[in-house]
Amino acid sequence: MMARRPRARRIGIFLILAAVSLTTIYPLVFAVKMATKTDAEYVLNRYGWPEKPTLGNFSKVWSAHSLGRHLLNSVVVVVAGVTLSWVVCSMAGYALSHLRFRGRRMLFFLILGSMMIAPQVIMIPLYAMLRSFGLLDRTVGLVLVYVTFATPFGTYLMTSYLRGVPKELVEAAQVDGAGHLQILWRVMVPVARPALVTLGIFNFLWMWNELLFSLLILQDTASQTLVVKVAGLQGEYTTNVPYLSAGLLLAALPVLIVFLIFQSQLTKGMTLGAVK
């Protein structure tokens, strides 16, 4: 009787996880099903499987809307945003974990508290500030906004991880005449490589899929990111669903590749720093 309970519990957990997995896998399968249909087949059979699958929608949407240029825009924004967030969060994490100065704990709690502010709350004043600085319709403006919103969580992650680095390593480097920047680059960065990889994955996934601020800041069509351009394929009155599905899959493909490659690292990052 006692042996049946753990087995029944495992079966119940498996069924729950399977149901949750289906809710995340089905939209992707549905998009593939829609993207491989012709316009006529979609009209005649909206929800069925395509009788003659085609990849023509992918080539049409790629060439007709110059998605290659917008893909390059997304790559530039994400690479710059992830790199700059690494620099800012590493320096902040090192300062908050190993330097002693007045107000250190208060500053750390203020950074954590900023995570509770919804981005939509400051959207209007942020837009006004960017306009006054001349950063609208400029990639650097979007990068700075992304880094700003990524800094609180990144600082928390790096601070939690770097607190586990022995102080003796820092003191030994200082005895050898190393400055704070040298300690950060030669001691902290190699030790914190797992945390940096995790932070980079989280920021990449968020920055690539972000739509609101990208649409708000980059209003010029030529400078828009791939996600914004694909979202614009949806018409006000009618929408070519196979066309739109093909664009959505092209925009999601880099995210799927990164997720599959770094899946184990992303899972470890969920608890990174919890035992430090």
User: In this predicted model, which residue has the larger pLDDT, 236 or 39?
Assistant: 39
Confidence at residue 12, expressed as pLDDT on a 0 to 100 scale: 81
Lookup: tokens for 101: 């100065």
Confidence at residue 267, expressed as pLDDT on a 0 to 100 scale: 64
2 has a pLDDT exceeding 60: no
Looking up tokens 């790199």, which residue turns up? 83
CB 90 within 8 A of CB 184: yes
149 has a pLDDT exceeding 60: yes
Mean pLDDT of all residues in 177-185: 85
**CATH code linked to domain 67-269:** 1.10.3720.10
205 has a pLDDT exceeding 50: yes
Confidence at residue 69, expressed as pLDDT on a 0 to 100 scale: 92
- Give the residue from 206, 211, 212 showing the smallest Cα distance to 147: 206
Lookup: tokens for 35: 């993207």
This prediction's pTM? 0.85
Lookup: tokens for 216: 């708000």
Q: How far apart are CA 182 and CA 186, in angstroms?
A: 6
- Res. 166 pLDDT band, cuts 50 70 90: confident
- Chain centroid, CA 56 distance in Å: 29
Length of the chain as a residue count: 276
- Give the residue from 200, 175, 192, 198 showing the smallest Cα distance to 268: 198
90 has a pLDDT exceeding 90: yes
Q: How far apart are CA 276 and CA 267, in angstroms?
A: 17
- Res. 237 pLDDT band, cuts 50 70 90: low
**For residue 99, what is the DSSP state?**
-
- Note the pLDDT tens digit of each residue in 262-271: 777 666 655 5
Lookup: tokens for 106: 């208060």
Find all residues with CB under 8 Å of 196, minimum gap 6, and list them. 86, 90, 158, 189
Confidence at residue 42, expressed as pLDDT on a 0 to 100 scale: 85
Q: How far apart are CA 26 and CA 66, in angstroms?
A: 29
Kind and range of the H or E run holding 92? helix 67-98
R_g (Cα) of the chain, nearest Å: 23
With pLDDT > 70 as the criterion, what percentage of the chain qualifies? 92
Confidence at residue 104, expressed as pLDDT on a 0 to 100 scale: 85
- Res. 243 pLDDT band, cuts 50 70 90: confident
- Res. 232 pLDDT band, cuts 50 70 90: confident
Confidence at residue 1, expressed as pLDDT on a 0 to 100 scale: 47
